[in-house]
Amino acid sequence: MKIYLVDGTYELFRSHFGAPSRKAPDGREVGATLGLLRSLLMLLTTPGVTHVACAFDHVIESFRNDQYSSYKTGAGVDSNLIAQFPLAEEAVSALGLVVWSMVEFEADDALSSATARFKNEAGVEQIVICSPDKDLAQLVSGSRIVGWDRRRDMLINKAGVVEKFGVHPQSIPDWLGLVGDAADGFPGIPGWGEKSAAAVLAKYEHLEAIPADPQTWGLSASRAARLAESLAQHWAEALLFRKLATLREDVPLKETLADLEWQGAYERLKDVCHGLGDEKFPGRVPRWRER
């Protein structure tokens, strides 16, 4: 079997900006939620898709905000989108999917923890992480754990990570520690760009392994000297940013592998769709649970 782990936060954002606006009978904006339901149903009705789970940032802030005050928050996010998170979780759960609603942790931590838990289970042929987010690239392993950008229909395996970022998956947190991640609100180290970080980490893999003497880095002497000086001055920040970019594997997920198998939608989905103002969607669902 293949396990499909969906970044529900990313999917909801994608639907918000890609799906048409839609008002529920009570006046609420629900276009993103309806777009998400359609997208997930398309996934569930794809041949070979049997085991699926979906993780959401139930609240945008997480434990990382305590570690770095400028880490991403909900500031600036459309209130119509923020308001749909609980609704989206309810709708996806009614569709019959396992939903992980993260409060202390982030959705990406749930996907990381699920990957760690299920990757060695008997019968698991592949884990497909449904998101193009940079930080999730650290989870990729060979062609057995891969990323999938559903919008572009692009799979990325280990070789793809190396081609895209210039480093192996295990170096992605270090790479982000140097270059930063604007989406998550941390800036990286002054002077370090994607190419310079890739060139150095491709050779040394992790921050601690980078020699203090920049003459061995394989860059021009003047450039390497500037980067070495910046790294020395901002060493504590580099370690902090790497920590922020490192996904956790200890989220307490209670579901077993069997729980991830889609058995069909719950009857309550019809009530959810009625509240959303879409009476036609349930008619497209091919499987329903008996109870």
Residue pair 138/23 in contact by the 8 Å Cβ criterion: no
Q: What is the pLDDT of residues 229-284, one digit of tens each?
A: 999 999 999 999 999 999 999 999 999 999 999 999 999 999 999 999 999 999 99
Q: What is the pLDDT of residues 52-101, one digit of tens each?
A: 999 999 988 999 999 999 999 888 889 999 999 999 999 999 999 999 99
Residue pair 102/57 in contact by the 8 Å Cβ criterion: yes
The answer, yes or no, to whether residue 291 has pLDDT greater than 80, is: no
Reading the block at residue 22, the tokens are: 């839609």
Which residues lie below 8 Å from residue 152, measured CB to CB, with a gap of 6+? Answer: 132
Q: What is the pLDDT of residues 174-220, one digit of tens each?
A: 999 999 999 999 999 999 999 999 999 999 999 999 999 999 998 99
CA distance 42 to 79: 27
CA distance 74 to 94: 26
Give me the residues paired with residue 247 across strands. none
* pLDDT at residue 99, as a whole number: 98
